[in-house]
Amino acid sequence: MENENFENRTDLSKLSAAVNQIKYTLAQIIVGQQDSIDLLIAGILADGHILIEGVPGVAKTLTAKLISKAIDARYSRIQFTPDLMPSDILGTSVFNPKSAEFEFKQGPVFGNIILIDEINRAPAKTQSALFEVMEERQVTIDGHTYKMQEPFTVLATQNPVEQEGTYRLPEAQLDRFLFKIEIKYPTLEEEIAIITRQHQQKTTEQLTHIQPVLSGADIIALRQQVRSFHVEAKLLEFTAKIIHETRNHKSLFLGGSPRASLAMINAAKAIAAIKGRDFITPDDIIYIAAPVLRHRIMLTPDKEMEGASPDDVVAQIIQKLEVPR
């Protein structure tokens, strides 16, 4: 009975229609990857930045690009390279001879949906240029602060296997990503479908016909709606316990920060919205625990040598805790 009251608190018809339309649009081009697409949409609804990891050729960049095409907002793409400088991203002051003054020329980070391709190819100096803009949604250059226009979301891709010419992302930067989505190889059936579509030349044709589903203003309104969702006290406690366990687990060298706790709640709200609910359940928290934590926690060296993964440890922690009902 309690759930029925919650069902009627918020009108989710516009949100559900938009989510279904985005999923349908992406399904025309992307084969499989349903969980990844759900997490991408959830990340945008939760006002979070997303790190997408996968080997070359699994459509990381294509998926991120399609999400941006489905949103009628200013899209910007930055290809990270070892020689990229902070000013190449943020912008720089240029002298105007007419006015005899320096004028700020905005860099590509000034947009709504920013796709950073191969984020781990740039050195620490360039990575640090993203710290302020990702957390505070602003850029400070020559003592002047420039606010980013909302909505502002960074979608970054990285390759886990290529080591040459790559740099490990600083922990402080990883913590600023809401999710780390891991895109796996397709199944045999999915691969056959991919080859068939490409052979029939459907993919390129469909890419040109993608129409935006949501405007930037729609995204801002939907984010406010998702933020207002109901969360029971026992679920807040359950989330805090999961994060607390990561800080005291024998397999972990680094646990989750309070930012991870907030990320889990915001992400769970967004997943609930995608499922057509305006309240979260323990299953929502369990579902998003690994994507929220896998890039924030660090395994001890011996556990890494054993071949354990952060996802394994998160699963162990949840199994140990009593799930609220």
Tell me: the pLDDT tens digits for 220-263? 999 999 998 989 999 999 999 999 999 998 989 889 999 999 99
Residue 306, C-beta contacts closer than 8 angstroms, at least 6 positions apart: none
Inform me whether the pLDDT recorded for 295 exceeds 60: yes
Please determine, for residue 6, whether its predicted confidence score (pLDDT) is greater than 60. Answer: no
What residue spans define the domains of the chain? Answer: 8-212, 229-324
Tokens standing for residue 198: 């490409």
128 in helix, strand or coil?
A: helix
* Band of residue 8 on the pLDDT scale cut at 50, 70, 90: very low
Residue whose pair of structure tokens reads 């018809």 in the numeric block:
13
pLDDT band at 127 (very low <50, low <70, confident <90, very high): confident
pLDDT at 10 over 50: yes
> How far is residue 3 CA from its own chain's centroid?
29
Longest dimension (CA), the chain: 71
In this predicted model, what pLDDT tens digit does every residue of 25-59 receive, in sequence order?
Answer: 877 777 777 888 889 999 999 999 999 998 777 77
Which residue has tokens 């309104």?
A: 221
Looking at the chain, the whole-number percentage of residues with pLDDT higher than 70 is 93
In the predicted model, what is the mean pLDDT of residues 162-186?
84
Q: Look up the CATH number of domain 8-212.
A: 3.40.50.300
pLDDT at 162: 65
User: % helix / strand / coil in the chain, to the nearest 5?
Assistant: 50, 20, 35
Give one DSSP letter per residue of 156-189, joined into a string: EEE-SS--TT--PPPHHHHTTEEEEEEPPPPPHH
Helix (H, G, I), strand (E, B) or coil at 31: coil
Rg (CA), the chain: 21
195 by Cβ neighbours in 10 Å (0-12 / 13-18 / 19+) ranks as exposed
CATH topology match: 8-212 vs 229-324: no
Identify the pLDDT of residue 323. 86
Residue 163's CB: how many other CB atoms inside 10 A?
Answer: 9
Distance CA 265, CA 50 (A): 16
Please give the average per-residue pLDDT across 100-117, as a whole number: 88
pLDDT the model gives residue 5: 45
In CATH terms, the fold of domain 229-324 is Helicase, Ruva Protein; domain 3 (1.10.8)
* pLDDT at site 206: 62
DSSP assignment of 280-296, as one string?
A: --HHHHHHHHHHHHTTT
Number of helices and strands in the chain (H, E): 15, 13
